[in-house]
Amino acid sequence: MKVSDYIVEFLIKKGVSDIFGYPGGMVAHLIDSLDKYKDQIDVHTNYHEQASAFAANGYAQVTGKVGVAYSSSGPGATNLITGICNAYFDSIPTLFLTGQVNTYEAKKNLPIRQKGFQETEIIPIVKSITKYCAYIEDEADIRYELEKAFYIAQEGRKGPVLLDIPMNIQRMDVDPDSLRSFQPDSSNSSSIDISIISEAIKNARRPVLLIGAGTKTKPIRQLVNQLVGKWRIPVVSSMLAVDVVPTGEEMNFGFLGAYGSRTANFIVAKSDLVLAVGSRLDVRQVGGKRENFAPDSQLIRVDIDGGELSHCVNEREKHVCADAQEVLKKLLDENINLDDQIEEWRGVCKTIREKLYRIDDKAPNNVIREIGKAVPEEYTVTTDVGQNQVWVAQSFEVKKNQNVLFSGGLGSMGYSLPAAIGAYYGSRKPVISFNGDGGLQMNIQELQFLARERLPIAIVILNNHALGMIRHFQEMYFDANYSQTVDGKGYESPDFEKIAQAYDLKYQALDASKVFELDSLNVTEPIIIEVLFDKNTYVFPKLEFGKPNQDQEPLLDRELYEHLMRL
């Protein structure tokens, strides 16, 4: 059996239904093999390898399966790097297959920069942003390396893996029955002790459950909602986890952090116990001065990655290094009833929410909220990076089991559109892709993908004719010198109606003042929906570096602030 055929059969047996990539000479054999099996696996040709990588991310995020993308050597492989990095920081299980020059063309130990055309040693480049990467020099290793990579991508804290496969290895013949296999080490199983959590919960009077991106997988998400329902415990999230608990859940008080909900930040500041599950508690969540975070609270952190637990928030915190799924199962089995114990605290949390109800709402927030109401629950939502991302996190009303996808740790502009393509193939349901006028242009070529395949994806452009987030920084810290961020100062956005015409896509201009007339957003074909705003748009609330999370800009009336802190 040809190695490239073996690779495709392996992916099919692993349940991979879709693969994304871009043709090139060094993957010609893989492309040919994929076509042989086109009745069993769908191959999607993007128009840039970065888009292929982001599409694999979106597919994995929606399905829970391993997302797969391929590229040729050299520039093809290096174009994958941003998407690989995104998968690494956001713990997305992905497999990247890169073609490489023939082994006899490789420079190996020669003191030259390059021997073969488009030869680029991708392994040392991606080593720091993958869980595992390997160069396959012997065709007899193909089964072992595929099984090892696939296992590592999904084991523990999930993430990306990469296999670099020379062209002559792809065309070799192998006997599948004689290939060596990979056997994972299963000797590290140990019992999980949750006694510090159960004891702390039983003694707490103002507990809060803080959930992060580690709770986004379907099994863990279900357990989180069961726990919130059983305990009726106030819950806040990181930005990436805003879709884990529906917006309408009574005990959901929003996402916390620099751009988060004032309500969530006040609740955490006033708590006596924070149980953080699957959240790395980075600077955007806890603030620049980590000691200011929940200063009077016991912090217990549950994380599968012991490395993250080494970055402490304070000296008092306690850790449970374990799979969140197993910890939540054990907590649900515990005989813990918080009905009377925290009833007063629930009232305090609701009072804070009422006092701060939509206090920072601006036109973009209202637009997002109304669009959210019109979006059916089976639709996936993707966002780009910048103001549009924060407005969605703040104001989109997430429905039960709805996925909202972000580029979190990496924060890469250009993510939303290709991730929407991957999310569509993962769910076969329509997708709403939110974008800024800047971020859309990063992977604008993928509009041709939508035109070619006629996918039911709505591209919502929140257009303020500016790189709004940076423009705001310039206003705050650089005397409003809007260099390279607004029209006429080194930045411009195109006429998106003409762009839609060029790509043969339907176009609709949505007046921000009439967004309330939306009833249902029924997406059956690709469409660009443009909402125009003034360039003077802002993301509020916003935390000034070094201040406590609950004291965000614009500052609350001091009397109200003190009242909330006394509750």
Are residue 397 and residue 367 in the same domain, yes or no?
yes
Are residue 130 and residue 222 in the same domain, yes or no?
no
Structure tokens given for 40: 């069993």
Any idea what the CATH number is for the domain that residue 237 is in?
A: 3.40.50.1220
Residue 50: closest CA among 4, 8, 87, 18: 87
Residue that terminates a domain, selected from 355, 378, 406: 355
Across residues 526-550, what is the average pLDDT?
92
Segment 68-113, tens digit of pLDDT: 999 999 999 999 999 999 999 999 999 999 999 999 999 999 999 9
Cα R_g (the chain), whole angstroms = 25
> Does residue 187 lie within any of the structural domains?
no
Are residue 17 and residue 43 in the same domain, yes or no?
yes
Q: Tell me, what amino acid is at 127?
A: K
Across residues 20-40, what is the average pLDDT?
97
Across residues 307-322, what is the average pLDDT?
94
Across residues 238-255, what is the average pLDDT?
97
- The domain total for the chain is 3
pLDDT at residue 291, as a whole number? 86
Q: Is the pLDDT of residue 513 over 90?
A: no
Q: At CA 515, angle to CA 514 and CA 517, rounded to 5?
A: 75
Structure tokens given for 226: 């069961």
- Of residues 514 and 3, the one with the higher pLDDT is 3
Residue that terminates a domain, selected from 122, 151, 178: 178
Task: For residue 471, give its domain range.
Answer: 363-532
pLDDT at residue 188, as a whole number? 65
> Does residue 555 lie within any of the structural domains?
no
Across residues 125-154, what is the average pLDDT?
98
Structure tokens given for 465: 């004719």
Across residues 321-335, what is the average pLDDT?
96
Other C-beta atoms lying within 10 Å of the C-beta of residue 22: 22
Residues in a beta bridge with 320: 302
Are residue 271 and residue 316 in the same domain, yes or no?
yes
Q: How far apart are CA 142 and CA 555, in angstroms?
A: 59
Residue that terminates a domain, selected from 325, 355, 385: 355
Instruction: Round the average pLDDT of the chain to a whole number and report it.
Output: 95
Are residue 160 and residue 285 in the same domain, yes or no?
no
3-state secondary structure of 318: strand
Are residue 224 and residue 169 in the same domain, yes or no?
no
Q: How far is CA 158 from the centre of its chain?
A: 13
Q: Is the pLDDT of residue 518 over 80?
A: no
Cβ-contact 439, 384 below 8 angstroms:
yes
Q: What percent of the chain has pLDDT over 90?
A: 92
Are residue 7 and residue 54 in the same domain, yes or no?
yes
Are residue 217 and residue 309 in the same domain, yes or no?
yes
Q: What percent of the chain has pLDDT over 70?
A: 99
> Does residue 562 lie within any of the structural domains?
no
How far CA 438 is from CA of 94, 384, 385, 529, in Å, comes to 27, 10, 9, 15
Are residue 339 and residue 421 in the same domain, yes or no?
no
Q: Is the pLDDT of residue 520 over 80?
A: no
Q: How far apart are CA 513 and CA 517, in angstroms?
A: 9
Q: Is 91 left (phi over 0), alpha (psi -120 to 50) or beta?
A: left
Any idea what the CATH number is for the domain that residue 443 is in?
A: 3.40.50.970
Across residues 129-158, what is the average pLDDT?
98
> Does residue 543 lie within any of the structural domains?
no
**268-282, 432-446, 518-532: least confidently modelled range:** 518-532
Q: Is the pLDDT of residue 517 over 80?
A: no
Q: Is the pLDDT of residue 270 over 90?
A: yes
Are residue 48 and residue 82 in the same domain, yes or no?
yes
Q: At CA 232, angle to CA 231 and CA 238, rounded to 5?
A: 105
Res. 511 pLDDT band, cuts 50 70 90: confident
pLDDT at residue 198, as a whole number? 95
Q: Is the pLDDT of residue 189 over 70?
A: no
pLDDT at residue 512, as a whole number? 80
Q: Is the pLDDT of residue 30 over 90?
A: yes
Are residue 387 and residue 287 in the same domain, yes or no?
no
Q: How far apart are CA 149 and CA 152, in angstroms?
A: 5
Q: Per the omega criterion (within 30 degrees of 0), is the bond before 430 cis?
A: no
